[in-house]
Structure 1
Amino acid sequence: DIKPLVTEHMAEMTKIVSYFEFENKNNETTFDIDDKGNLSMSKKIAINSEMEKTIFNLISSMPITVEVHKGYVAFNRIDFTVYDTGIINSIAYVFQGMENVDTGYERIEIAPNWYYQYGEFSKGYFEEEQE
């Protein structure tokens, strides 16, 4: 389900991770699209309008969120199963020198500093995270 990220959206993803690795370090927020169709942040941070547009366009093209952390950026897709469990598929970019950072998931390297991550959780876990 996240194959288009690496096949069609790598340029946007690279632009996003470069921005947060080199120009706007040490932030913690999650970008999503709110009910009104606007870009939302879990914690308000200052970003330039070009980056805001890049993130918005990426999220609008796929049902994902973009999580920015001090050591990595994750592009997450969450799907719920019929059994009320959530499955998260994620592509993460771990910043140079931060390869040992804990992203919260087991990961498999797909390219230098790029990782595929997967996790399964109860639906309640995701509802608690959003509060």
Structure 2
Amino acid sequence: MAWTLPLAVATPTSQPFWDGLEKGEVRLQQCQDCHQWVFYPRTHCPRCLSEALQWNCVDGRGSLHSFTLARVPTAPHFADQVPQILAIVELDEGVHLTSTLREVDPAQVSIGMRLRPCIEPNAEGLPLLRFVPDDPCSTQ
């Protein structure tokens, strides 16, 4: 049996996030009543329950909150991607995202390290949000 990668399924609520990635943008919702940043996409603010959520572009930079190094594939279709650094990234806006780190030696990964977004297509050409070290000496 051939394995195919699982695909993220956009919903009406999350579609603006995926549309942003298609355009090379990181988009988050922000409550217009209490100004809370919101991720994952929702229909109401988790802080004040307002439905006044607006999509805004952010630069996507943040810090590594937590990570694990997967030396064994987490599923058969990731066999060619080990070791894989699975990460929880805290964006500067305060939300946490689960993602994968790229372009970094696992031995150099540390909690609190600064990261920037890297939008790259998966095998099916759909954009995925990944993160790479935010080296101030490098150019983007």
User: Shared fold by TM > 0.5?
Assistant: no
Greater helix proportion: 1
TM-score (norm: length of structure 1):
0.27
TM-score of the two chains, using structure 2 as the length reference: 0.26
